[in-house]
Structure 1
Amino acid sequence: MTKQQTIAIVILPLLAIAILFGGNIIFGGPDSEFYEGTAEGYGGTIRVRVEMAEEEIVSIQILEINDTPGLGDTAADKVIERIIEAQSTDVDVATGATMSSLGTINAVKNALGIEDEKAAEVFAPFIITVEDGEYEGVAKGFDGDIKVKAEVVDGKVTKIDLVEINDTEGLGDTAALKTLDKIIDTQSLEIDTVTGATASSKGVIDAVRAALQL
């Protein structure tokens, strides 16, 4: 039997297994060590497997994710690429998918035994006590009332409309919309205000708080 035939006998069954299970098979090096970790994402648990070799992150595989298909999972993949490239969990989150990004980062931290209580507390999600439906709230902004309408579906805030705002056009209204996007993305009111438009950002947060009776 030739060397090529021997290699084929070993490799072909492994490739067949990889195809059968959708390609999710890991060929770790001789010095590789694997660690699994979990954290909460936008739609539930995110579970990852991290491959380490010679104190470097070689690969990260997502074993479980329940976030929005095409958004949360895509964000998780982007974050994983950044972590491997930077060899660090101190990376930027993917735009529009903060919770999925943070969940992935925290799952990797959990796998590697990195404690970061602050990161877990920054976007503490709010607990919705109102029933599904639409709710309006009003609060003071920089130059008058800010009014919002929030939609709750299955216990989550799925949409928030900016109904009224009198703050500086191009600054206050832009900050308000960014703040609303972040509230929906993180499902939290414990978020940073927009630089240069603190009053507008805080007004929006307070209006949403009033709408959801938090």
Structure 2
Amino acid sequence: MSDLPGYGDSSLPADHTLEAMVALVGHSLDRLVGPDAPVGVAGFSFGGLVAAGLSAERSAISCLALLGPAGHGGEGRPKGELRNWKPALEREDWVEFDAAMRHNLMMHMLHNVNSLDTTALAIHTQSCLQTRFHSKRISRSSQLPQLMERYTGPVLLAWGEHDVTAHPHSTASMLMQRRGPCTSVVVPRSGHWVQYEAASDVNSLLLNWFDQKFSPCQKT
């Protein structure tokens, strides 16, 4: 599927609200597969909150996987302050710009310094440069529990062991107080960007979980 609205090459929504984001994603999904086609949905960080919002609104979501989801309303555990990279960009000071990107990756996204390779740096840099949707206020809200309560299908919650955006065990305990079935997994030796830092583990986790939760008639 394409980038979320306001990210990458996708157009910016008219309103900087979760509701507007969810509506646009839902419309795109309906056009791609039809409004009644059963699908499984996975989302990471702010995208996890969007995925939860979509699942609360769309009846044909069969299962939902959230990786380090935003909007849980609990406390984070930041390692340090993030650096503002925009002044360096404006000055075309590429040494300082690169240093800021590397610093922010280790403060917020990754746990192991060996995970900071050229691919991670390139993805993170491109994402920062092409993000136009202001998600910070929404990400720090407490909308996720209410959205999960409205969705009664199976939910998988996964965090990196060292995710700075949440205390995984206590946050999972709070989010699992819902009507539908819920599974929580903490992936060792990884940070917030768990699907990058522990790609093999997360790929296996998601493939196995979606394979179990989709009924045979829904698989393609």
TM-score, structure 2 as length reference: 0.29
Q: Which has the higher contact order (CA 8 A, sep 6+)?
A: 2
Structure with the higher strand share, 1 or 2: 1
Structure with the higher helix share, 1 or 2: 2
Larger gyration radius, structure 1 or structure 2 = 1
